[in-house]
């Protein structure tokens, strides 16, 4: 029943470290592999007002920053991180690809991140169809908007 | 980061054993305590058509059956179950009471049970306010109705 391949959805907030520690705690007993995934779901929203030719350098800068933040999570994990995946936009598709590629059997995610909003509609695909356990961890960001009713 | 008190929401389907095994797998390394909770959320729905005076003996019979099913889960767990809680009706309230009483830091639940429907509206209370991790486990019952959009 132990997990073999754990995927941590890191959103690069300071709280991401909590998720990483949870994953390491679950992984270390049986030597499970840990993978990170970071999907920049907000990018399109934030920059939709910019003209297209401006996106290139700005996007590059953000991606570079994100990779540095992920690297600092990897450095602080105290456990080998087998691979890190980066995606943009379609979080669910990126997760599904990762699940298939690395034979993931547990996804660890924070409860406030954008994942939560997609959870309702995508739950069937992720949990049910793909048969993946999900560990949802409460984080400190007090943001009620993620819990508004439809 | 290890869990100390794990609450398993058992719905008494054959799949409940999967949840128990997951919980035991998480608990045994650090000797965490495992608690069961069973809340008969469907009772009112099923028997709303019966006249009130018929409820007594029927309710007694069902409760007895439920306790036998829980006992068989306890017997098969291969790990001590510290306590079992029974509730009727308000699942969330019963969970909250259990969380406070036993200082629960992880709830393990199946994805198809009635818990899922209450998850959306109760998530803020359970995950956020009470700061409880939740492990959601996919089970075999193929029932799409739990994933209908609002």
The model's pLDDT over B2-39, given as tens digits with 9 standing for 90+, comes to 899 999 988 777 888 989 999 999 999 889 999 999 87
The nearest CA of chain A is from the CA of B93 a distance in Å of 18
Residues A95 and A7 sit within 8 Å (Cβ to Cβ):
yes
Q: What is the pLDDT of residue B117?
A: 54
Q: What is the pLDDT of residue A3?
A: 92
If you measure CA to CA, which chain B residue comes closest to A134? Answer: B136
Class of domain B5-10+28-46+55-138: alpha beta
CA distance B88 to A13: 40
Q: Residue A123 and residue B22: Cβ atoms within 8 Å? A: no
Residue window 13-72, chain B: list those with CB within 8 Å of chain A: 21-22, 24-26, 29
3-state secondary structure of B30: coil
Of B145, B122, B17, nearest to A128 (Cα)?
A: B145
Which is higher by pLDDT, B125 or B59?
B59
Q: Which of B21, B120, B134 sits opposite A136 (nearest CB)?
A: B134
Q: How sure is the predictor about B145, in pLDDT bands with cuts at 50, 70 and 90?
A: very low
Q: How sure is the predictor about B47, in pLDDT bands with cuts at 50, 70 and 90?
A: very low
CA distance B77 to B23: 10
Residues B4 and B52 sit within 8 Å (Cβ to Cβ):
no
The nearest CA of chain B is from the CA of A44 a distance in Å of 25
Each domain of chain B, given as residue ranges in start order, spans 5-10+28-46+55-138
Q: What is the pLDDT of residue B26?
A: 92
CA distance A79 to B81: 32
The nearest CA of chain A is from the CA of B119 a distance in Å of 10
Best mutation target among A137, A144, A146 (most B Cβ atoms within 10 Å) is A137
Report, as ranges of residue numbers, the positions in chain A whose pLDDT lies below 70. 1, 41-55, 89, 111-131, 140-150
B58 bridge partner residues: none
Q: Which of A21, A136, A138 sits opposite B136 (nearest CB)?
A: A136
- Reported ipTM: the value is 0.72
The model's pLDDT over B73-93, given as tens digits with 9 standing for 90+, comes to 999 999 999 999 987 767 777
Residue window 95-124, chain B: list those with CB within 8 Å of chain A: 111-112, 116, 120-121, 123-124
Q: What is the pLDDT of residue B84?
A: 93
Return the minimum-mean-pLDDT range out of A50-59, B45-54, B86-95, B129-138.
B45-54
Partners of A1 on chain B (C-beta within 8 Å) are 21-22, 24-25
Q: Residue A147 and residue B123: Cβ atoms within 8 Å? A: yes
Q: Token digits for B113?
A: 């049970």
Of B62, B51, B117, B57, nearest to B88 (Cα)?
A: B62
Give me chain A's average pLDDT, please. 75
CA distance A101 to A82: 12
Give me chain B's average pLDDT, please. 75
Q: Tell me the pairing of strands A5-9 and B33-40.
A: unpaired
Residues A134 and A109 sit within 8 Å (Cβ to Cβ):
yes
Confirm or reject contact between A1 and chain B (CB < 8 A).
yes
């Amino acid at each position: 029943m132990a997990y073999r391949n754990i995927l941590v959805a890191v959103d690069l907030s300071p709280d991401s470290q909590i998720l990483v520690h949870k994953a390491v705690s679950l992984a270390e007993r049986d030597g499970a592999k840990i993978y990170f995934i970071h999907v920049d779901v907000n990018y399109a929203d934030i920059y939709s007002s910019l003209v297209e030719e401006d996106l290139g350098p700005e996007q590059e800068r953000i991606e570079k920053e994100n990779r540095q933040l992920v690297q600092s999570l990897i450095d602080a994990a105290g456990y080998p991180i087998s691979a890190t995946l980066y995606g943009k936009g379609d979080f669910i598709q990126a997760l599904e690809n990762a699940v298939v590629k690395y034979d993931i059997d547990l996804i660890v995610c924070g409860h406030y991140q954008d994942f939560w909003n997609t959870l309702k509609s995508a739950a069937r695909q992720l949990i049910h169809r793909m048969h993946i356990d999900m560990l949802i961890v409460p984080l400190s960001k007090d943001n009620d908007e993620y819990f508004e009713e439809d």
